[in-house]
């Protein structure tokens, strides 16, 4: 009886074993390559090298050459528009201004006399009287001649005297107007010459054209300066910017207003800037586009000239991740990916954000670490079993 029980147990064990062997599932036929959803910071970000520069740099020179008499500012000093930077020796110009003032006063006196003469007709009036007398004499003699009381020669002599007086009147009118016009022109010329000398005198005080910071002084007291060489460098005090040269292949990643991360390596400082301006064309020799990045006001002026690393900022919304662009399928307004979990496929609808190189931002629908299908050996449906042969 005991022996029969043992045989029955053995039979049941063998039956179970063979039944289990018959239930083994064959390996899946679909093979997939996958990638993990990543935060922006884990991408191999594009990095561009730039330098901190002023929004505007003004090289200040005198309008006229001269010898420096005094320097009123120091490097690193903040200045206001119109504030004195340096002055030139103006002793000769002051003498010229005095001479010009005297010449103007003399011309004004001559003009006043000419104006009074014109008002009184001092040149024209005597000529008018002489002309009227000659004309009246001719008319009297003409009556006598017609009455045959005088010879024709007397009449001709009277007519010639009248014509001469008429010509002298015209000349007097011209001379009187010419004297007035010349005197007025002398006043205008003297005034213009004085204004030029006063302008040169004023230009001896060289002022800052903008509010800003004095970064360099290229002259000193006693030096001779000209309009062709800068004497003082002033930068715009409204802020700093970074100027970056961006390759043609990267320029499509940038747009005005885009947030960029600016790292000043030498001092270990990082700021968030924004694309301010993108050059319309690339440099013909280098193929680079010039991009200007506005920096926040808190950046210290001492960082001027420092080298920076610039990359696209990571300021995505919470929960935002990136996946390879080729893992996303889109039809109409709907976009989705295929997730892999425990060897099974599930379709997940997602919301897309920006594109960064070969990656797409997913603003909703995925979390960091989710495994998505990038490539498959066949069509996929929910619940399909797959074999991952390579994961990124």
339 part of a folded domain: yes
18 part of a folded domain: no
3-state secondary structure of 149: coil
How confident is the model over 228-287, as pLDDT tens digits?
A: 999 999 998 778 999 999 998 788 878 899 999 899 988 889 999 999 999 999 999 889
Q: What are phi and psi of 151, to 5 degrees?
A: -75, 160
| Assigned token pair, 6 | 């043992």
Spatial distance between the Cα atoms of 305 and 291, rounded to a whole number of angstroms:
16
Spatial distance between the Cα atoms of 215 and 236, rounded to a whole number of angstroms:
10
Q: What does 37-98 look like in DSSP terms, one character per residue?
A: -B-GGGS----EEEEEEES-EEEE--SS-EEEEEE---TT-EE-TT-EEEEE--HHHHHHHH
Of 13-17, 115-119, 210-214, 259-263, minimum mean pLDDT range: 13-17
3-state secondary structure of 304: coil
What CATH number has the domain bearing residue 265? 2.40.30.170
* pLDDT over 80 (residue 13): no
What CATH number has the domain bearing residue 80? 2.40.50.100
Which single residue is written with the structure tokens 């001379």?
175
| Assigned token pair, 172 | 């007097």
Spatial distance between the Cα atoms of 378 and 337, rounded to a whole number of angstroms:
15
Residue 269: which domain range? Answer: 48-55+238-312
**pTM (two decimals):** 0.55
How confident is the model over 142-156, as pLDDT tens digits?
A: 888 888 889 999 889
How confident is the model over 84-140, as pLDDT tens digits?
A: 999 999 999 999 999 999 999 999 999 998 888 888 888 888 988 989 998 999 899
- Same-domain status, 227 and 80: yes
Helix (H) or strand (E) holding 390: strand 386-391
Beta bridge partners of 38: 322
Q: Report how many domains make up the chain.
A: 4
How confident is the model over 310-363, as pLDDT tens digits?
A: 988 765 555 678 888 899 999 999 999 999 998 899 999 999 987 776 788 898
* pLDDT over 70 (residue 225): yes
What CATH number has the domain bearing residue 39? 2.40.420.20
13 part of a folded domain: no
136 part of a folded domain: yes
């Amino acid at each position: 009886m005991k022996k029969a029980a043992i045989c029955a147990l053995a039979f049941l064990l063998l039956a179970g074993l063979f039944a289990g062997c018959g239930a083994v599932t064959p390996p899946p036929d679909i093979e997939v390559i996958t990638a993990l959803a990543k935060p922006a910071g884990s991408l191999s970000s594009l990095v561009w090298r730039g330098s901190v520069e002023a929004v505007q740099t003004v090289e200040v020179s005198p309008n006229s050459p001269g010898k420096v008499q005094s320097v009123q500012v120091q490097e690193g000093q903040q200045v206001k528009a119109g504030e004195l930077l340096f002055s030139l020796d103006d002793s000769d110009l002051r003498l010229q201004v005095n001479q010009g003032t005297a010449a103007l006063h003399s011309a004004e006196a001559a003009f006043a006399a000419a104006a009074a003469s014109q008002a009184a007709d001092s040149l024209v009036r005597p000529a008018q009287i002489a002309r009227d007398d000659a004309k009246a004499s001719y008319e009297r003699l003409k009556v006598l001649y017609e009455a045959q009381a005088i010879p024709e020669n007397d009449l001709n002599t009277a007519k010639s005297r009248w014509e001469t007086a008429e010509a002298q009147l015209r000349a007097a009118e011209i001379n009187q107007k010419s004297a007035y016009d010349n005197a007025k022109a002398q006043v205008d010329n003297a005034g213009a010459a004085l204004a030029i000398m006063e302008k040169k005198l004023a230009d001896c005080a060289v002022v800052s054209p903008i509010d800003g910071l004095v970064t360099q002084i290229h002259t000193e007291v006693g030096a001779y300066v000209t309009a062709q060489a800068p004497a003082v460098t002033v930068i715009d005090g409204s802020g700093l910017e970074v100027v970056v040269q961006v390759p043609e292949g990267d320029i499509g990643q940038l747009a005005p207003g885009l947030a960029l991360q600016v790292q000043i390596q030498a001092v270990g400082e990082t700021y968030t800037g924004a694309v301010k301006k993108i050059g319309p064309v690339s440099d013909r020799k280098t193929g680079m586009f010039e991009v200007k990045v506005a920096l926040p006001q808190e950046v210290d002026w001492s960082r001027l000239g420092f080298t920076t690393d610039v990359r696209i900022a990571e300021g995505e919304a919470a929960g935002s991740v990136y996946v390879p662009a080729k893992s996303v399928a889109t039809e109409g307004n709907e976009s989705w990916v295929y997730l892999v979990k425990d060897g099974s496929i599930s379709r997940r609808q997602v919301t897309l954000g920006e594109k960064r190189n070969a990656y797409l931002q997913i603003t909703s629908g995925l979390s960091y670490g989710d495994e998505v299908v990038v490539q498959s050996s066949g069509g996929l449906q929910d619940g399909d079993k797959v074999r991952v042969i390579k994961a990124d």
